[in-house]
Amino acid sequence: MSHLHLAVALDGAGWHPAAWRAPDARPDELFTARYWTDLVTEAEKGLVDFVTIEDSLGPQSTKIDGPDDRTDQVRGRLDAVLIAARVAPHTRRIGLVPTAVVTHTEPFHLAKAIATLDYVSTGRAGVRVRVSGSSSEARHFGRREFPEFRLPLPDASGGFVEDLFDEAADYVEVLRRLWDSWEDDAEIRDVATGRFIDRDKLHYIDFEGRWFSVKGPSITPRPPQGQPPVTALGHATVPYRLAARAADIAYVTPHDPRQAREIEREVRAEQATAGRAADPLHVFADLVVFLDENPAAAARRKSQLDELAGTEYGSDAAVFTGTPAQLADQLIEWRDAGLSGFRLRPGAIPHDLTAITRALVPELQRRGAFRREYEATTLRGLLGLARPANRYAA
C-alpha cells in the first residue's frame, strides 16, 4: 500500500473558535516563539510532511469582510513567514509552509522571503498562496479600492474574483521565475578572472502582466530545493484553476469520498487545460479533526467547545469527530478516491495535534499507510517531487 501524505494546519489555539478555552490550551502564549516551536516540534515527532501556518492581512473575523469586534475569540496573529523562519533552526526534517497573501504584496519580496526560508531550513520551505478579496484589507494598503466582499457574488461583479485569481497566477509565475533567475552554479568565485559570479547564469525574468511587471533577477540565489512547493486552497472552479495552473499541492474540501473523486477530477481537468497534465500535482483534502479514545468523548469535547462558543461549529472543510482508528479508516477510504494526502486542521491545540502525532500516525503506520521515518531531507523529497531543472539553464 502506498503511503499517504499528511500535513497539519496550525492556526492560533486550533480551528474551533473556543479552542483557546480548552483546559490544556495556552492562549496567553500565542504570540511567543516558544509556543510555535513546541507545536512544530510536536508535528515533527509525528513525521508529518509539513505544517502550514495560517495568515491574513486583517484580523480574524466571523464576517466575510471586515472586523467583527468580537472579544470572545482569538484576534491578532504574527506574520506566518517569520514564524516559519523562527521555528526552522529548531527542526530538522519537517516542511514549513507559511501562508502568504498574494494580493497587495510584492512578488519580489515574497520570492526572496521563501527562498530565504528554504536556506534557513536547508530545503524545507513551501508557501501557501492566498488571495484577498476583502475591501477592508485593501484599505490597509490604500492602493486599490475593492467593493465590499459578499457571497454569493453579485452578478455585476465584473469578473472581480476571476481577476484576483489571475493576478495570483501571475504572482506565482513571478515567484517561480525569480527562484530560477539564478542558475545553481552561477556563483563561481573564479580568482583567476576576479569574478564572483558568472553573470551569464543570472537571468532577467522580464515579466510583464496586467497587474505588475518585474525585471529580476532575484537578489537571493536559487533556493536549495530549486522551486519550493507552492500550495493553494480552493473550494470552487476558479481557485481550482489557480492550483491547477500554478501549484504543487491543491487543498480541497470534499465532504465525502464521492465529492473527493469529483473534485479531484475537476482539478485534473483544469490541470490538463493548463497544459500541465504531465506535472505532479498533489490533491489534499482538508479535514478539521476532533480526536479522542472513543467516539463519544470526541463528540462530547466538540460539543463542549460549541457550548462555550455559543454556536455549533461548522467549517468549509468536513469536520471529523471520532477515534484515531476511525480517522485512519476514513483517510484510507478517501485516499482511494484519488487524493494523495490530507491537511488536518486540529480542532483544539495541543489536544488534537498530539492525537494526530501520537495516535493517528502510529495507527496509519500499523496499516502500512504512513512513513516510519523521514525518508528525505527536503520538503520536495518528502512529497516525492524531484528537484526541477532550471527553466533558464541552457
Partner 1 sequence: MNKPLKQIHLAASFPGVNNTTVWSHPDSGSQIEFTSFTHLARTAERAKFDFFFLAEGLRLREQHGKIYDLDVVGRPDTFTVLAALAAVTDRLGLAGTINSTFNEPYEVARQFASLDHLSAGRAAWNVVTSWDAFTGENFRRGGFLPQDQRYDRARQFLTAAGKLFGSWRGDEIVADTETGVFLTDPRAGEFAHRDAHFDISGRFTVPRSPQGRPVILQAGDSDEGREFAASSADAIFSRHATLEAGQAFYADVKARLARYGRTPEQLVVLPAATFVLADTDADATELARDVRRAQVSGQTAIKLLEQLWNRDLSAYDPEGPLPEIDPLVGEPTIAPGRASIRLYRDPLAVARQWRELAEAKNLSIRELITEVTERHTFVGSPRTVAASINDLVQADAADGFVLAPYVTPGGLDEFADKVVPLLQERKVFRTDYTGSTLRAHLGIDTRSTAR
DSSP string, 210-241: SS-EE----SSPPPTTSS--EEEE-SSHHHHH
What is the closest distance, in whole angstroms, from the C-beta atom of residue 18 to partner 1 in the complex?
A: 8
Interface with partner 1 (CB under 8 A), residue from 63, 92, 140, 258: 140
CB 296 within 8 A of CB 285: no
C-alpha cell at 91: 527542526
Backbone CA torsion sign across 168, 229, 233, 18 = negative
Asked if residue 262 binds partner 1 (CB under 8 A), the reply is no
Reported as half-sphere exposure (CB side, CA atoms, 13 A), residue 266 has a value of 20
Interaction with partner 1 in 192-211: which residues (CB under 8 A)?
194-199, 202, 211
What is the closest distance, in whole angstroms, from the C-beta atom of residue 69 to partner 1 in the complex?
A: 4
Asked if residue 219 binds partner 1 (CB under 8 A), the reply is yes
Strands 187-190, 195-197: pairing is: antiparallel
**Residues 155-194: x where in contact with partner 1 by CB under 8 A, - otherwise, as a string:** ---------------------------x----x-x-x--x
What is the closest distance, in whole angstroms, from the C-beta atom of residue 211 to partner 1 in the complex?
A: 7
CB 26 within 8 A of CB 18: no
Asked if residue 147 binds partner 1 (CB under 8 A), the reply is no
Identity of the amino acid at 156: A
Interaction with partner 1 in 59-88: which residues (CB under 8 A)?
59, 67, 69-79, 81-83, 85-88
Number of Cβ within a 10 Å radius of residue 294: 11
What is the closest distance, in whole angstroms, from the C-beta atom of residue 338 to partner 1 in the complex?
A: 36
What is the closest distance, in whole angstroms, from the C-beta atom of residue 86 to partner 1 in the complex?
A: 4
Asked if residue 314 binds partner 1 (CB under 8 A), the reply is no
Q: Which C-beta is closer to partner 1: that of 4 or that of 186?
A: 186
Interface with partner 1 (CB under 8 A), residue from 7, 48, 51, 117: 117
Q: Which C-beta is closer to partner 1: that of 103 or that of 340?
A: 103
**Residues 273-312: x where in contact with partner 1 by CB under 8 A, - otherwise, as a string:** -----------------------------------x----
Contacts of 264 (CB under 8 A, 6+ apart): 252, 283, 337, 338, 339
Contacts of 111 (CB under 8 A, 6+ apart): 174, 175, 178, 179, 218, 220
Q: Which C-beta is closer to partner 1: that of 327 or that of 379?
A: 379
CB 188 within 8 A of CB 202: no
Asked if residue 377 binds partner 1 (CB under 8 A), the reply is no
Q: Which of 199, 198, 201, 203 shows the shortest CA–CA distance to 218?
A: 203
